[in-house]
Structure 1
Amino acid sequence: MMQAPSLRALIDRFHDATEARAWFVTHAPGIGPKQASMFLRNVGMSYDLAILDRHVLNYMTALGIYSGVRLSIASLTQYRRLEAALRQHADCLECPVGLLDWAIWIVMRVANRKMEPIAI
């Protein structure tokens, strides 16, 4: 297992964010692809990773990019495949996939709240 004097030193050893994410998913118990992607984005490593949460997956379903029923993707292989589909969509919009998924998350979260019944 790779060791480093600090978390920053560990992250700096990877060639890219995809390699770092794979390492975290494999070596950090309880960290899945979504959590690893979010962590690496939040520490400023890259906007080239997507955070595929339920809001983003619902958006992808609405566009026909994703046809599954699962709103959580645990397999790194399946996560990469769906991320590649979203990245292709982001490329068409000339936007980094990590910024597009953030925008999708905001819009879909607000849209879903507006569709919930209001308790009186």
Structure 2
Amino acid sequence: MECRAFKVDAFTDTPLKGNPAAVVLDCPELDRETMLAIAGELNLSETAFVWPEKDGFQVRFFTPGDEIPLCGHATVATFYLLWRLGLAAEGINKMFSKAGEIDVLIKDGRV
């Protein structure tokens, strides 16, 4: 299995500024304990694990110590990265998380 991990700064256009979050793609088969270990290894305040689901994206959020239902800056980082990679489209994108189904708007490359 090969996952892709990114560090993305939310709320900025300037490199190495903003609020960093880790985003891990392509690993829906990871269990909770492994996601928690990866979040601990990446050691940012939040790590988002994301994969495509029917009509949207499943996202799970972890701190280095626990899973949390939702994280604002990690959501922004995740959907900005998905947009940059051509995986999410301009307009409304569906996010499915422990906090429920959330509409995420991308407009002009901004989340």
TM norm structure 2: 0.31
Question: By percentage of residues, which structure has more helix?
Answer: 1
TM-score by length of 1: 0.30
Higher-Rg structure is 1
